[in-house]
Structure 1
Amino acid sequence: MPSQTDFPLVFEHLKRILKPYAPKLTVKMDNQNVFYLDGPYSEKYKRELYFASTHIKKNYVSFYLMPVYMYPELLKGMSPALKKHIQGKSCFNFKKVEPELFKELESLTKSGFARFMKELK
């Protein structure tokens, strides 16, 4: 059974999914418990828009991906295994490292980023 001692490792894996997008976005927070990215300034919304983050919580590590909230069609084709980890509309919770699901989340993040940036222009 996973324990909270696994959470920093889970966090690092999820953070690695987001790090490639940092150069094109704004890193709002980067510490041992939170990695948080905002998108560029949007003329349409007159502010920076939240893109994604990962957080170590008390009972799990969360991965928030705003593009799936904004564009729910991105979730079409999501595996039943990943679907079990979704909480609400845009949050995925993990208690242990799950390479196959993280790979799927990486792909979802990539398509979410492309759509997010396209729509902001």
Structure 2
Amino acid sequence: MSDAFQTIFERLRPLFARYEGDCVVLKDEAGVYLLGTHEVRAKDGYRTWLGGVEIKKAYVSCHLMPVYFHHALLDDVDPALLKRMQGKSCFNFKTADDALFAELDRLIERGVAAFRTDGRL
């Protein structure tokens, strides 16, 4: 784990941690922080994720599940953040970027609001 990735992790983790009171902490250990909703899927018993941050081998991943369920959340997101998107709900970072982290923070806030509206939180 590189020092740069650890720094990114430490910058992104608090963006999610402020919602701990509304969520269930699924994992909180070195390099991995994941939050789940109170919604439990009936078939397999797993909780729906809110999201989280995880240090991977080549980047730091930030998962935000509300964008998977509510695609319109991405309609007005900065194109620079969208370039960091991999898949339907994951953003990858190799370097710290204040502007992108601020944009991500706003997106997380809107995603939490969307999950509150639809009853997942």
> TM over 0.5: same fold?
yes
Cα distance in 1 for residues equivalent to 2:12 and 2:3: 16
Q: Give the TM-score taking structure 1 as reference length.
A: 0.90
Cα distance in 1 for residues equivalent to 2:58 and 2:74: 25
Q: Runs ≥4 in structure 1, deviation > 4 angstroms? A: none
Cα distance in 2 for residues equivalent to 1:60 and 1:4: 10
C-alpha contact 1:64 1:90 (8 A) present in aligned 2: yes
- Write the mapping of 1:1-121 to structure 2, written as runs, cut at 5 A: 4-41=2-39, 45-46=41-42, 48-120=47-119
Cα distance in 2 for residues equivalent to 1:113 and 1:100: 20
Runs of 5+ consecutive residues of structure 1 not aligned to the other structure: none
C-alpha contact 1:51 1:65 (8 A) present in aligned 2: yes
Percent of aligned positions with the same letter in both sequences? Answer: 37
Secondary structure of 1:54's counterpart equals: strand
- Amino acid in structure 1 at the alignment position of 2:17: K
RMSD across aligned C-alpha pairs, in angstroms?
1.6
Task: Count residues with an aligned counterpart.
Answer: 117
C-alpha contact 1:4 1:60 (8 A) present in aligned 2: no
Secondary structure of 1:120's counterpart equals: coil
Larger helix fraction of residues: 1
Q: Give the TM-score taking structure 2 as reference length.
A: 0.90
C-alpha contact 1:4 1:59 (8 A) present in aligned 2: no
Cα distance in 2 for residues equivalent to 1:113 and 1:70: 12
Runs of 5+ consecutive residues of structure 2 not aligned to the other structure: none
C-alpha contact 1:85 1:94 (8 A) present in aligned 2: yes
- How far the C-alpha of 1:78 sits from its partner, in A, is 1.1
